[in-house]
Structure 1
Amino acid sequence: MPTYNPPVRDMQFVLHEVLNVADELKALPAHAETDADTINAVIEEAGKFAAEVTFPLNISGDEEGCTLDKATHEVTTPKGFKDAYAKYVEGGWPALSCDPAFGGQGLPFVVNQCLFEMLNSANQAWTMYPGLSHGAYEALVAHGTEEQKKTYLPKLTSGEWTGTMCLTEPHCGTDLGLLRTKAEPQPDGSYRITGSKIFISAGEHDMADNIIHLVLARLPDAPKGSKGISLFVVPKYKVKADGSLGERNPIFCAGLEHKMGIHGNATAQIVIEGATGSLVGEPNKGLQAMFVMMNAARLGVGNQSLGLTEVAYQNALAYAKDRIQMRSLSGVKAKDKEADPIIVHPDVRKMLLTAKAYAEGGRALQIFCTMLLDKEHHHPDEKVRKDSGELVALLTPIVKAFITDNGHIATNACMQVFGGHGFIKEWGMEQFVRDNRINMIYEGTNTIQSLDLLGRKVLGNNGASLKKFGKLVAKLVEEEGVNEKMAEFINPIAGLGDQLTKFTTEIGFKGFQNPDEVGAAAVDYLRVAGHFVFGYLFARMAQVALREIAAGNTDPFYVAKLQTARFYFAKLFPETATLMRTARAGSKVLMDTDAALA
């Protein structure tokens, strides 16, 4: 059976020693009173909840799955899920980073980030139920009417109600311009929604009293394509004027998908038969409103893979220390045993360190991004808000695609450490692999993220956002460029920064002549950019570790951090050279292949 220990020490290192979050928060009036002690107390309790309440349900939830009663359209979640959610609500966890105006605790997003990393390590399928509610909350905060906010936000904040995002339809995946769900205006100002949706995570369940669906649909006179999409809030149960629940709205679960992983989460086929809904935002501007939710979800999906990378690493490390197989190539290490623990073998260490580096890099990036979100929402200086938002927009596709791709690499590597036992259910490793695999697909496949990064976020503004991040790297290079002890961390990112500028210009020029060149290079480009960002954060972590060691701090944590950073730069970061070469190979070898693909 797998185990899980919340990585509170590493979170505190990134929060307080690398990013100085408490000092950053002092500049934000809404969070100026949130100090390091408060943050530490919250994440320690969050870790206990994840490890003690939701983690024990992970394997059983996977084995049991969800059950649909086709007569009533009601879904029963696995045993223990509902009780765990009740404890989650009782503990006030849904309200952690929500606005006090709606009953929230008003803590920074960066604290909520740590909570959800640990919940995802403990049980991704369970965590998706409350996780999606945050996206619905954010969309209604940004675009809801005063009446919608009053009706829905207090209940979403408390966790009494949960939320979903209903986008995809059977005939269209990412191409939402093809959707057919209809919304007909009614005399009372409401809308009658009719259509069907698929792949709706947490689309029906028994854990909360009401489910607030955010549904994309078309008005009768809507333009074709994505410019004719509107967003509607469609509750499972209608809400009366006094806030109590009314009659059942005809928005039903018609079926549950049988999936590779996340069996404990109800991935629903939704049928909408004239359900009553209300418009969110402006007519035909639904995608803009939904993107608030989608961007929150994309950061959340990256967090799911971060959580799985961490828990898979912990269990593979414990197994490698205990499992004995053969002798070390450099001589016997465990003289009192018949064979050496497999952790002595170089390639086992490579697999373990790959997972460790991708977990620690992903954690630093997620905390970095959520701190930027806090500044975007709450900093008193408009320029800081704008710059922070621009950086978050640049980094969001990297968080989603790079961290989930790395999660795939890491969970598979950790399963490999177990050898044949990794393929057996009782060890839990194959579930981490299965659960992670969806993260590379939903909320926009990783190829879509790559096209978004290169086409929209980089080339779309002539590299302005990338240059802003480049200035952060340049500042660090300037600070540490003459420090010989930092050379092994600084030189690689300084070199890649120069190469990335030339690389981006080259792809942009080729793409101007032939757009397929952008499509051919995008996935490779995102991984190069991902390593550039990880490299910057690992250099900052190494900077702190070296400083502490020089000051006489004997905590082995800092030595471990340096060793992980050295491994990352020596064994993982050099992937960028290959990626740039394959990207430069262009589109012809992909598109001039009609005979090969006949």
Structure 2
Amino acid sequence: MYRPATADQLLALEVCAGIGELAQSERFAAAEPDMVAAIVEGIGAFATGEWAPLNRVGDVEGARLENGVVRLPDGFAEAYAHYVEQGWNAIAAPADFGGQGLPFALGCNVLENLGTANFAFNLLPMLTTGAIDALEHHGSEDQKALYLPKMISGEWSGTMNLTEPQAGSDLGALRTAATPIEDGEHAGKYRIAGTKIYITWGEHELADNVIHLVLARLPDAPEGSRGISLFVVPKYRVKPDGSLGPRNDVKCVSLEHKLGINASPTCVMSYGDSGDCIGELVGAPNRGLMAMFTMMNNARINVGNQGVQIGERATQAALAYALDRVQSARAGSPDKSPVAIAEHPDVRRMLLRMKALTEGARALLYYTAGQVDRGTLGDAAAAARAECLVPMLKAWGTDVGVEIASLGVQVHGGMGFVEETGAAQHYRDARIAPIYEGTNGIQAADLVTRKLGLDGGAALDALLADVERDSDGALADLARTCREIARWMREEASLDDRLSGSVPFTAMCAVAVAGWQLSRQARAVADGAAPSLAESKPVTARFFATRIVPEALGLAASARGSADLLYAVPAAALAG
């Protein structure tokens, strides 16, 4: 049974995102405590009542393709319509186009609750919020006026179209073509032709229109990633007055058969089969990757959020089972009566680990979101800090989501390996998150290349220095060690060495920041915040500091390891 983690979310918003401080700005003045509490409690109740009951049926029945149309199980259309009617899609969207203009951190909370209730369904609004962000920052005034109001309301949904069969993560190899239209009804627009794969919610009937953001090449485009442009390609063409015109020449030709997220249609999309797919250029020619990175950055934060979502859901399920399942007497107890398995030390260890990792990932999520909001208010240092935090959140957050889901299966024992308990679904659903929106290896590479050098290295160093200054014991040691490794990577290590150690280094940094934010939460609770967490929060924070932080310190040797060992044997010989 899903129960919203309202108290912990409100604590994270206050302590980690600093939403009270954000509300002192003119832009976010509406984010007063009563408003924040009403949103967090309201979306929690909505997610529990409307989206959570569809989680199991969505997994079992999934999305299906019928004559080019994606169908969802009964109940999805009504639940999405209620989501739109209640205005949840508009929480953090720009007020100029019908949004509420509240902090990004509150938008993250909406998605956290929806995704914990129904991981696969939540991908629909998650991609739309990213598309809104890209159009808001890079679209023309006419494009924003035409598309944003109905995308913000949720009446229209959005997608991100990057990947092609031959290209994978190498976007410079994409072949989708955009040909200028010189005259006629669509003069000034472009004919789009190509195939995109792994398009999340690329086709469905829940929204009235689907607005695709598509990367493609102009005829004279330079080779590689410098020659990519971004186009808006609606499922139904949109007339100047905002009403829907005829169907565009775009269709879903198949759905992927996946390990999990079965209710999320992962589409193969074909553009221009009949030569009549019309799109509009977004931003400048050959600058599409920059525009798409706005959407990708938003998506990477929200995929990190998915680690929190699956962690919370799997932890709740494991706790409920462990408190109910009676088996064996407690070791060493004079009373030989069987007890709930939650009383056995190793099961208790797993449960505490799941809870501590979930709360740590949540603390990192809302700290990142708060830095994004400060960047929006013009704080350049916070914006740079957010850039450093995004790969940590996406990579470590999703890795621990998988770990927590796996522990959930383990707590259930044999019952976790069968589908009836739902523990297996959590594990299957979680496994995609370290892969999409840039694999976690790509996130780590981003941290040790581009982000490591931001502001001459000061952005990352200042973050880790704050952790070290505000911590003691193993956590301070971890932050100090991360600073030392970062300095070595900047000044001495080869590029191969940096990339070789990038994944463990990213995990170390993420654990340092998450542990710091958990310790701040524990201090706030000790001072009277969140009374309902007075018993649990000090223990989960201490477990994180004494069990998880030392593990991260143990990654230092791997982070510093030379890449020479990786290439000491030819790749072909590894198969020998």
Q: Residue by residue, what CA displacement relative to the aligned partner does 1:333-383 show, whole Å, maximum 9, x if unpaired?
A: 6x7xx4111111111111111110111111111111222222211x2xx4x
Residue 450 of structure 2 aligns with which residue?
A: 456
Residue in 2 that maps onto 1:312: 314
Task: Map 1:93-132 to 2 at 5 A.
Answer: 93-132=88-127
1:558 aligns with 2:534: yes
3-state SS of the aligned residue for 1:124?
coil
Corresponding position of 1:170: 165
Higher deviation after alignment, 586-595 or 307-316: 586-595
Q: Does 1:501 align with 2:499?
A: no
Question: Partner residue of 1:492?
Answer: 474
What amino acid is the match of 1:424? V
User: Shift in Å at residue 545 of structure 1?
Assistant: 2.8
Shift of 1:68: 0.8
SS across alignment from 1:238:
strand
Equivalent positions of 1:197-346 (< 5 A) are 197-273=196-272, 274=275, 275-331=277-333, 338-346=337-345
Distance 1:251 1:44, change over 3 A: same
2:355 and 2:331 mapped to 1: Cα distance?
24
The DSSP-based 3-state class of the residue aligned with 1:192 is strand
Instruction: Determine whether 1:400 maps to 2:394.
Output: yes
Unmatched tracts of structure 1, length 5 or more:
478-489
Q: 1:35 to 1:185 in 2, by over 3 A?
A: same
Q: Compare 157-166 and 106-115 and name the one that shifted more.
A: 106-115
Render the CA deviation track for 1:152-183: whole Å, top value 9, x for unaligned: 00110111100000000001111100000000
Q: CA deviation at 1:17?
A: 5.0
Secondary structure of 1:55's counterpart equals: helix
Question: Which of 312-321 and 492-501 deviates more?
Answer: 492-501
SS in 1 for 2:241: coil
**% identity of equivalent residues:** 43
The DSSP-based 3-state class of the residue aligned with 1:31 is coil
C-alpha distance in structure 2 between counterparts of 1:501 and 1:471, whole Å: 8
**Superposition pairs for residues 410-489 of structure 1, below 5 Å?**
410-459=404-453, 461-477=455-471
3-state SS, counterpart of residue 253 of structure 2 = strand
Tell me the distance in 2 between the aligned counterparts of 1:418 and 1:471.
41
1:539 is displaced (CA, Å) by: 1.7
The 3-state SS of whatever aligns with 2:210 is: strand
The separation in 1 between residues aligned to 2:455 and 2:57, in whole angstroms, is 48
1:460 offset after TM fit, Å? 5.5
Contact 2:10-2:40 at 8 Å conserved across structures: no
Shift of the 556–185 alpha-carbon distance from structure 1 to 2, 3 Å rule, reads closer
How big is the shift at 1:575? 1.3
How far does residue 330 in structure 1 lie from its aligned partner after superposition? 2.9
Instruction: Tell me whether 172-181 or 14-23 shows the greater mean CA deviation.
Output: 14-23
Over 3 Å counting, the alpha-carbon distance change for 1:323 and 1:236 in structure 2 is: same
Aligned-partner residue type, residue 64 of structure 2: T
User: Within 5 Å, which residues of 2 pair with 1:75-90?
Assistant: 75-90=70-85
Of 105-114 and 430-439, the range deviating more from structure 2: 105-114
After superposition, the Cα gap between the structure-2 partners of 1:576 and 1:323, relative to the gap in structure 1 and judged at 3 Å, is same
Offset at residue 585 of structure 1 (A): 3.0
1:431 is displaced (CA, Å) by: 0.4
- 1:150 matched to 2:111: no
TM-aligned CA deviation for residue 18 of structure 1 = 5.6
User: What is the DSSP-based 3-state SS (H/G/I as helix, E as strand, rest coil) of the residue aligned with 2:555?
Assistant: helix
Query: What is the DSSP-based 3-state SS (H/G/I as helix, E as strand, rest coil) of the residue aligned with 1:125?
Result: coil
Provide Cα deviations, 1:409-436, integer angstroms capped at 9, x if missing partner.
Answer: 1110011100011111111110010001
Instruction: Name the CA distance, whole Å, in 2 between partners of 1:511 and 1:155.
Output: 49
1:511 to 485, 493, 513: 493
Q: 1:459 Cα shift?
A: 3.9
- Residues 124 and 435 of structure 1 are in contact (CA less than 8 Å); yes or no, is this contact kept in structure 2? yes
Q: Deviations along 1:165-219, whole A, 9 cap, x unmatched?
A: 0000001111100000000111111011000000000000010110000000000
After superposition, the C-alpha distances for 1:509-541 in whole angstroms (9 at most, x for unaligned) are 4533xx221221111111111111112112212
- How far, CA to CA, are the matches of 1:14 and 1:306 in structure 2? 12
Corresponding residue SS for 2:57? helix
Give the distance between the partners of 2:296 and 2:391, measured in 1 at CA: 11
Query: CA distance change for structure 1 residues 247 and 326 in 2, over 3 Å: closer, same or farther?
Result: same
Distance 1:206 1:454, change over 3 A: same
Q: Deviations over 1:66-105 (max 9, x none)?
A: 11123xx111122211111000011111111112211112
Question: What residue number does 1:581 align with?
Answer: 557
Cα 1:439–1:38, aligned 2, differ >3 Å: closer, same or farther?
A: same
Shift of 1:463: 2.1
RMSD (Å) for aligned C-alpha atoms: 1.6
Kept in 2, the 8 Å contact 1:16–1:36? The answer is no
C-alpha displacement at 1:559, in angstroms? Answer: 2.8
Q: Is the 8 A contact 1:545 1:559 kept in 2?
A: no
Change (3 A) 1:271 1:508: same
Secondary structure of the residue aligned to 1:200 is strand
State the partner residue of 2:21. Answer: 23
The equivalent of 2:63 in structure 1 is: 66
Separation (CA, whole Å) in 1 of partners of 2:98 and 2:483: 46
Partner in structure 2 of residue 481 of structure 1:
none
Alignment-mate amino acid for residue 213 of structure 2: L
Q: Do the aligned residues in 1 keep the contact of 2:441 with 2:503 (CA within 8 Å)?
A: yes
Gapped regions of structure 2 (runs ≥ 5): none
* Superposition deviation, residue 109 in structure 1: 1.4
Which AA in structure 2 matches 1:536?
W
Q: Match of 2:4?
A: 6
Q: Per the alignment, in what secondary structure is the counterpart of residue 131 of structure 1?
A: helix
* 1:229 shift after superposition: 0.3
Task: Answer whether contact 2:454 2:460 (CA < 8 A) is retained.
Answer: no
**How far does residue 556 in structure 1 lie from its aligned partner after superposition?**
5.9
Could you say which residue in structure 2 is the equivalent of 1:486?
none
* Equivalent position SS for 2:508: helix
Give 1:332 shift: 5.0
Contact 1:193 1:272 (C-alpha < 8 Å) held by counterparts: yes
**Rounded Cα–Cα distance in structure 2 between residues aligned with 1:412 and 1:47:** 25
Change (3 A) 1:24 1:107: closer
Q: Which string of whole-angstrom CA distances, capped at 9 and with x for unpartnered residues, describes residues 541-571 of structure 1?
A: 222233339xxx9x46223111111111111
1:310-351 Cα shifts (integer Å, max 9, x gaps): 011011111111111111113156x7xx41111111111111
What letter corresponds to residue 115 of structure 2 in structure 1? Answer: N
Amino acid at match of 1:172: A
